């Protein structure tokens, strides 16, 4: 860290000997606390003192605005002008949201979908950097023991969600009845995120898990069998392991996910075309091998004639 860009209340003074010492200044008029000449140790002591001061004034617990202010106070400002302006904008968004929510405590932070909906209403849907900043703030506060537990806005496992949506696209042609309705909603980008599937017979709840309707599980099992053969014929063996583990609960959880539309496959997965491409590539390789063998035979014949 550049000693010219230190957090608030952390001072650096160079002595006549040429050695730089660090001090903690809690407030004007109070005696400074010497933190030594090692920057790493000084920062560790600085964070501990800042934590003690804040918790002493918040006996009832920390609020979300406390977390934002403490993060801003205990971290140096970005040296880049654009990065500094971007962080200021992201912090402003978070402050406005939590203020409108009544400045909840750290244990009562609204869900991530609620914040994304709020962003949508404020015409800022494309700026999700504030979400990443909040995750960074929570990680910082957790590391310095301000808060405990996982971040309430933890990132969604996007890889598994993308695979689930790809599998839904694969098994759709082999599905029937209620399962086909569920998959149609799941793969439709026009269906808003967080939608609960309402089929013609029984509504599918994402909390059903193994308790999902038996007929829906049977339909999924039949579709998986047909899709497995199609994947094997098209040599898409990479999707076979996750397909064998796919459940109704995986599909319904993906349907209500706030990032479903973002993770939809860019296009339809056509296993027939994939199979044709594999066969075409194999034929080309065989033709190439046949041509090489023919050239080798001609060379052998010419060598024998010369002898």
With bands split at pLDDT 50, 70 and 90, how would you rate the model's confidence at 221? very high
Backbone dihedral angles phi then psi of residue 70, each to the nearest 5 degrees = -70, -40
Digit-coded pLDDT (tens) for 246-270:
999 889 888 888 778 878 887 777 6
Buried b (16+ CB within 10 A) or exposed e, 65-100: ebbbebbbebeeeeeeeeeeebbeebbebbbebbee
Phi and psi based region of residue 134 (left: phi greater than 0; alpha: psi -120 to 50; beta: remaining): alpha
CA distance 244 to 204: 21
pLDDT score for 205: 44
Task: Measure Cα distances from 26 to 8, 9, 47, 172, 227 in Å.
Answer: 9, 6, 12, 63, 66
CA distance 88 to 95: 10
Digit-coded pLDDT (tens) for 229-251:
888 887 778 888 999 999 998 89
CA distance 292 to 139: 60
User: CB-hemisphere CA count at 13 Å for 46?
Assistant: 26
Digit-coded pLDDT (tens) for 83-98:
888 899 899 999 999 9
pLDDT surpasses 50 at 109: yes
Order of all β-strands in the sheet with 33-36: 10-14, 20-24, 33-36
What is the pairing mode between strands 10-14 and 20-24?
antiparallel
pLDDT score for 80: 83
With bands split at pLDDT 50, 70 and 90, how would you rate the model's confidence at 228? very high
CA distance 54 to 245: 48
Digit-coded pLDDT (tens) for 135-180:
999 999 999 999 988 888 876 556 688 889 999 999 999 998 889 9
Higher pLDDT, 285 or 107: 107
Is residue 250 packed enough to be buried (19+ CB in 10 Å), middle (13-18) or exposed (0-12)? buried
Domain residue extents for the chain: 1-57, 58-155, 158-269
pLDDT score for 207: 39
CATH 1.10.150 assigned to domain 58-155? The reply is yes
């Amino acid at each position: 860290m550049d000693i010219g860009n230190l957090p608030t209340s952390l001072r650096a003074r160079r002595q006549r000997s040429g050695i730089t010492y660090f001090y903690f200044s809690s407030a004007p008029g109070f005696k400074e606390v010497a933190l030594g000449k090692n920057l790493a140790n000084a920062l560790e002591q600085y964070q501990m003192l800042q934590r003690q001061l804040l918790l002493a004034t918040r006996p009832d617990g920390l609020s979300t605005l406390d977390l934002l202010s403490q993060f801003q106070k205990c971290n140096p400002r970005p040296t880049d002008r654009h990065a500094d302006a971007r962080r200021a904008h992201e912090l402003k968004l978070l402050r406005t949201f939590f203020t409108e929510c009544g400045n909840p405590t750290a244990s009562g932070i609204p869900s991530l979908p609620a914040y994304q909906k709020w962003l949508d209403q404020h015409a800022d849907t494309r700026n999700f950097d504030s979400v990443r900043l909040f995750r960074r703030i929570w990680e910082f506060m957790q590391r310095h023991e301000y808060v405990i537990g996982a971040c309430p806005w933890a990132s969604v496992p996007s890889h598994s969600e993308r695979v689930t949506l790809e599998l839904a696209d694969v098994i759709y042609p082999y599905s029937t009845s209620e399962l086909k309705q569920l998959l149609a909603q799941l793969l439709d980008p026009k269906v808003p995120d967080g939608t609960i599937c309402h089929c013609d017979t029984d509504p599918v709840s994402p909390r059903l898990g193994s308790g999902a309707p038996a007929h829906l599980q049977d339909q999924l099992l039949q579709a998986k069998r047909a899709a497995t053969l199609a994947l094997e014929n098209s040599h898409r063996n990479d999707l076979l392991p996750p397909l064998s583990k796919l459940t109704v609960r995986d599909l319904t959880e993906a349907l209500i996910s706030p990032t479903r539309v973002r993770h939809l496959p860019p296009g339809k997965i056509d296993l027939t075309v994939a199979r044709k491409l594999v066969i075409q590539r194999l034929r080309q390789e065989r033709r190439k091998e046949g041509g090489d063998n023919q050239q080798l035979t001609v060379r052998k014949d010419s060598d024998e004639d010369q002898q």
